[in-house]
Structure 1
Amino acid sequence: MQSRSAGFRSRKLSRGLLALGMLWTLPSSVPGVLAGLLGLAFGARMRWQAAELALVVRRWPWGSGGALTLGNVILHTGERLDTPCLTYAHRAGRCIEPTVSLADHERAHVYQYMLLGPLFLPLYLLCGGISVRNRFERAADRYALHGYGWWPWSA
């Protein structure tokens, strides 16, 4: 059984690591916040969602649908982030998979950003951008399907 002080230290360490991750990805989050603020003038709504570790901007007025994660900011065109969506592999006709939660998929990208910080975007683009071939998208789908495996280089 864990002692009370050990549990406190563990929570403190977790919060510290989360804060470091958010600080590390700040260069990516700032453009997301600015885009969110711009969207407010056109009817977007924003709020902090602790489950996603992100400032979520809903009803984003531009784009063809879906969501975009920039650091700890998620921009999406819908009313609710927790909406079903198809995986990249399913949409590409590579397999048949059940729908996943868009919130879970985007949360995986938040985790990826928090670990890679400013390296995320260049690596994401080098891996193929918005595509079924991109290991970042496949990992986010894997996480949304199973609840684990958000790291792009995991099995």
Structure 2
Amino acid sequence: MLLVLGVVWTAPNTVLGLLAGAVGLAFGAHARLRPRDCALVFQCWPWGPGGALTLGNVILHTGTSLDSGCLTYAHRAGHGDEPGIVLADHERAHVYQYMVLGPLFLPLYLLCGGVSVRNRFERAADRYARSGRGWWPWSRGDGSGRR
């Protein structure tokens, strides 16, 4: 029941993702339903610097497999030597965040710094990808050393 409510609550974001994904289909993207991630993934999405972008229950991924490894935001920013994570796990955390925050997600995400190591949403997604817990952006112990 909560899953259905989350999907409905974030539907406006999902519609944006579906529109972007549909445009990508015309340029070679492929859609694949990933129930574990509660998302429709558009793989080989033809635009962007690489990686993935989540919009509601849609993930736009420039690669061929969301199960690929990647570095955490902190590692890329030189804030320490962290082990790699799986991109699917990181993006699943964003799906969960969207399902709780719905239309509030994007404004809050941008207020927290956008695509940046400083963004608590990204730190939480990395934490979840490393440990399988802590996807909520305001969880204690976000790994930033700040409270």
Output the TM-score relative to the length of structure 2: 0.94
Matches within 5 A, 1:4-153: 16-153=1-138
Count of residues in Structure 1 that have an aligned counterpart in Structure 2:
140
C-alpha distance in structure 2 between counterparts of 1:140 and 1:68, whole Å: 12
Q: Give the letter for the 2:3 counterpart.
A: L
Specify every segment of 5 or more residues in structure 1 that has no aligned partner in the other structure, as ranges: 1-15
In the alignment, the residues of structure 2 paired with residue 112 and residue 71 of structure 1 have an alpha-carbon distance, to the nearest angstrom, of 9
Amino acid at match of 1:149: G
Identity rate, percent: 72
Q: Tell me the CA shift for residue 118 of structure 1.
A: 0.2
| CA deviation profile, 1:58-101 (whole Å, cap 9, x unmatched) | 00000110000000000010000010000000000001111000
Matched residue of 1:122: which SS?
helix
Larger % of helix: which?
A: 1
Aligned equivalents of 1:70 and 1:136: distance in 2?
Answer: 14
**Residue type of the partner of 1:97?**
E
Secondary structure of the equivalent of 1:69?
strand
How far apart, CA to CA, are the structure 2 residues paired with 1:98 and 1:87?
8
Amino acid at match of 2:52: A
Q: What is the RMSD of the two structures over their aligned residues, measured on CA atoms?
A: 0.4
Secondary structure of residue in 2 paired with 1:114: helix
1: CA distance, partners of 2:58 / 2:68: 17
After TM superposition, give the deviation of residue 48 of structure 1 in Å. 1.0
Cα distance between partner residues in 1 of 2:69 and 2:32: 20
Deviation for aligned residue 1:47: 1.5
| AA partner of residue 118 (structure 1) | P
CA distance, structure 2, for counterparts of residue 116 and residue 41 of structure 1: 31
Measured in 2, the distance between the counterparts of 1:63 and 1:34 equals 16
- Runs ≥4 in structure 1, deviation > 2 angstroms? none
1:105 Cα deviation (Å)?
0.1
